[in-house]
Structures are given as structure tokens and as C-alpha cells.
Chain A
Amino acid sequence: MQETTTINNFKSEEYFINMGPQHPATHGVLRLLLTIDGEIIKKVEPDLGYIHRSIEKMCERDSYQQIVHLTDRMDYLSSHINNEAVCLTVEKALELEVPDRVKVIRTIIGELTRIASHCLWWGVMGMDVGALTTYFYGFRDREMINDIFEETCGARLTMNYNVPGGLMWDIHPNFVNRVKKFIVHFKTKIPEFDRLLTENIIFQKRTKGVGVLSKEDAISFGASGPVARASGYSCDVRKYHPYSALDKVTFTEALQTQGDTFARYVVRIQELWESLSIVEQLIDNIPEGEHRVATNAVIKLPKGEYYQKVETARGELGVYVVSTGTKNPYRLKFRSPGFSNLSLLNHIAVGGKIGDLVATMATLDLVIPDIDR
């Protein structure tokens, strides 16, 4: 080990320290190998693969209906949007037009998923920087959404509600009412979030100017989602490549320019409002009609390559399917948002302290199964 700095005749040395794989701030089984000098971070090297299941290889032997179920297990907080991505790819390849009712319901549930995911993130973000109350507040509101999902989809987390060609079954008769109740409830709660954490001076001091990412670096590192938008990089897939019913709604893309931890925090709070507004625009206008169009029991995609991107709660998820015309994909690649967002962690954490790394990681909002796949 080399001597690095000398202060008042005291020599300091670099050393390694393990953060994870069971560290509470890594939110899953991620191991970070930190090279530190005192408390200053010199290098962060993520060690991945603790829960790698090789979903891409499993997809090569599965039918397209089965693949949908595997995607729940990637980013489990955006499970509905992941399912939707695969279904949209299959529908694109088959040139299958799904009914408007399906599109609207998919978008509503997708945005509710985003709200639920951001609620969990907000609770955990507060907890990571030492405010345990937020955890309970975040989970309280997320619980209401999970109850709605449970009633309609039968599951709270891994929903499997999408199938190629539409939805597994129609929405529950209570769905519209409960969502409306939630909108009224949640509108009073976001200001509470702000009062509790956003405007908290201790929280602001811990997050402002920490982990700064420039716009150029965000693009170069392939960042997406709130992480990229906090750096002023407008990249919302819902705006640039709208899918399902997102072309029918109006919303503002949440953008900040500072690129620091606080900006990433603010972008997600803004997204809560935007998602709520999208749900509000659609919930009274769910068109009547079928909830599913028939597909062949064995789906064979025409020979070719298909790419579909969607905006999950974490950023841009891409599904790249190469088909040779059989019932299984020849190759299926998931471009996961967390993977690219993690790759920039070293870049923005170096020079900061370990406590700052925890705050920075909290706003990257990593879900490890999404990275490991």
C-alpha cells in the first residue's frame, strides 16, 4: 500500500473495504469494493453476479408467454412495465393491434407502478440518510397501490398482468373507484413528503452538491431515467418513443440541471406529480371493449429483429429480440436501466466520503436483480 497524504506529519494509506453484499444501503446483494484514503473514496468497484440467474439464456428455451413471467424477476418494482415491454415487442413483431382499452389500462397500471416504486424509493432514501420516519410514510402509500393491484391482478409485486395480445383478465369492478380514492389521498401526501424531507435543511445539506453528474457524462455512460434527467438530459422514453396510451396524455418531463443527489431526488418527486396527473387524465376515460385479442397458442415471431424500449421507474428498459421464426427467440437481450446507471457510480463517487456514497447510491435507485438479470 502506498502512502498517499501527509497531514501534520501523520501519513495516511489507501486501503480496501468491502461494502456489501449484505450492507443495508446497497438494497440487495451488491458488493462494492471501495479503495479509500481515510474516509475519502478513491475508487468504487462493483462486484456483481450474486443473484445472476441468466434470464437471457432461459429465454432462449422459453415460449414468449413464459418470457413475460421472467421479466417480473428483473426489476421487481417495475414488474408491470417490464411485462409490458416484452408484450409490446411481441405485438410489434406480430403486427398485432391491441384494443384501446388495453392500452389505457396498461398505462394507468404502469404509472401506478411508477408511483409505488418511487414511494418505496422515497422511504428508503430517507432511511439511508438517517430519517427512519420516511420509510413508514412511503410504505403506507405504496400499500394502497399494492392493494389495488392485488384486487385486479391477484399479485402485489410480480403481477404478470400483461400477456401478448392484451391483459390476462379485465380490471376488477372496484378498480376505478379505488384509484380515484388513491389520487385524492396521495395529492395530500406529496406535500407531506416535501415538508418532511425535501425542505429539511439537514437533508438538503447531505444531498446538495454531492455526486454531481454532468450532462455529457450522463449521455456517455448511457444513463437514463431520473438519474439522467437530473443532469438536464431530456431522455424520457414516454416523450420520445411513446407506447400504449402515452401519446394521448399530456405531461411535463421532469428535468433538473444541477445533476447532484438533490436534483435526482427532486426529479423523482416531480415524477410523482406527473404520474398522478397521467392516471387522473385516463381513469375516467377507460374505453369499453375487449381486454385481450386472441393470439395463437404457440406464438412464432416472423424472422427478424425487434427492439422495444419503455420507461420503467428506473429508466430505459430495452428488449432486443432476434427471431429465426421459431417459437423461441434465438437471442433475447434486456438492456436494463440499472446496469448503465451503476456503471457511472465510480465516476461520481470518487473524491466524496462514504456517507456521501450512501446518499448517492440511494438516488441511483438501484434494484440489483435488474442489474444481474
Chain B
Amino acid sequence: MTNAALKELIGSWFPNPEVPVDDKPEKGISEVQEPQEPQPSSLLEFTEEGSEFLNIIVPATHLHALMLKLKTHPDTHFNYLFCLTGMDWEPALGVVYHLESTEHRHMVVVKVKTEDRDNPNFDSVSDIWRTAEFHEREVYDFFGIKFNNHPNLKRLFLTDEWDGFPLRKDYVDDINMVIK
């Protein structure tokens, strides 16, 4: 599927409750009103700016539902999670998922973020793609992002006593880090 087709299909799964579904607007007095800012029709935000893929920004509450649908829907069928990246966007923390379909060979990027740096948490997708189990442990190890319903969430590379999360931008280690 092309990016435009993907955008239309995926956008229709999560309509924005703020926008009335009414597709036949009443004519008359309402037309005189000043044109309002068009509300986004979907809870998801789509962008292709500065990236070769279609980027979907999803609210954390809808992450798991979206991911499940992306994998199971026959037209999208994103069955291959090839990259899962933890991100520190300062101040937001988040996760970037790169998905590919081995059947249709299209790709998409899903991003989720949270402003809560003290207790960031998202739903785990390890029940959808088994590979996420290790990748989410890596993200937890380096960014301190917790994944709900993860079967075995503990540090992967660092020791359990390690203080802090090294890949966060505000991490300071005067001894081991060489700062240029």
C-alpha cells in the first residue's frame, strides 16, 4: 500500500471523538459562522516530514490497540517489527517502532511519547511481536521506560544496582563519560 492509502486506512480506525461524524452539515445559519480551524479527524497524527517512512504518532492510551490492529488487519499485516528504539526528545521520552509487512512489503513508523520523566510507562507489545521482549528490556535498561504487562522486565545489559539510565540526555557520569 502507498503511504497515502495507509494513512487513510489507519486514520479511520481511531476517529477523533471531538469531531462530529455527521457528514451532512446543516445548511443555513451555521454557514454564516466563521470557518473554524479544521479538527484532525483522527486521534493519530501522521507525518512524512524528514523521514522516508510514514510516521504515526499515537497517544500512549491507544498504543496497544493500534499495534494489534496493524498486525492483524489483512490490508496492513505488519508482522515484522524490525527495530524498536528508545528516544529521549528532551523533555519527552518515547519509543519508536519500525514495522514492515513481509507480505505487502510496506513499512511504517509508530511513535509514542510521554512527558512524565519520573515514571514513564507504555503498554508492552511483546505479546504481539516476540522480538519486543528483548528490545523493551533494552529500552528499560537505558531509558528507564517501563512496559506494562511485560513478562520479564528487568535490566538486560547493566547490573541491577546500576544508578540511572545512561542513554537519557541528562545522565551524568563524571568518571566513565568523556564529554567533548
Q: Which residues of A contact B (CB under 8 A)?
A: 48-49, 52, 54, 56-57, 61, 217, 219-222, 224, 233-235, 240, 302-307, 309, 316, 318, 320, 322, 331, 333, 335, 339-340, 342-344, 347, 372
Contacts and interface: CB of A to CB of B under 8 A. Distances in A.
Interface in B87-105: 87-88, 96, 98, 102, 105
A86 B137 CA distance: 25
Contacts of B177: 57
B134 A57 contact: no
A224 B79 CA distance: 13
A220 B159 CA distance: 28
Contact of A52 (B50, B158, B178): B158
B131 A61 contact: no
Contacts of A331: 85, 87-88
Interface residues of B, number: 36
A174 to B, nearest CB: 39
A323 to B, nearest CB: 9
Contact of B133 (A54, A234, A307, A343): A343
A320 B142 CA distance: 17
B131 A335 contact: no
A333 B85 contact: yes
Given A54-B166, A304-B50, A320-B83, A344 B130 contact: yes
A49 B98 contact: no
A373 to B, nearest CB: 8
Given A61-B178, A235-B102, A305-B51, A220 B87 contact: no
Interface in B74-124: 79-83, 85, 87-88, 96, 98, 102, 105, 109
Given A61-B179, A306-B52, A219 B82 contact: no
Interface string B159-180: 1000000110000000001111
Most chain B Cβ neighbours within 10 Å, of A48, A234, A344: A48
A338 to B, nearest CB: 11
Interface of B: 49-53, 79-83, 85, 87-88, 96, 98, 102, 105, 109, 129-131, 133-135, 138, 142, 156-159, 166-167, 177-180
Contact of A335 (B83, B133, B142, B158): B83
3 A-B pairs closest in CB distance:
A304-B50, A222-B131, A49-B157
A235 B105 CA distance: 10
Contacts of A221: 130-131
6 contacts: A57-B167, A61-B179, A220-B130, A224-B82, A307-B52, A343-B133
Contacts of B138: 339
Contacts of B130: 217, 220-222, 343-344, 347
Contacts of B96: 320
Contacts of B88: 331
Contact of A343 (B79, B102, B131, B178): B131
A49 B131 contact: no
A215 to B, nearest CB: 9
Contact of A322 (B87, B102, B156): B87
Contact of A307 (B53, B131, B158, B167): B53
Contacts of A340: 131, 134
A318 B82 contact: yes
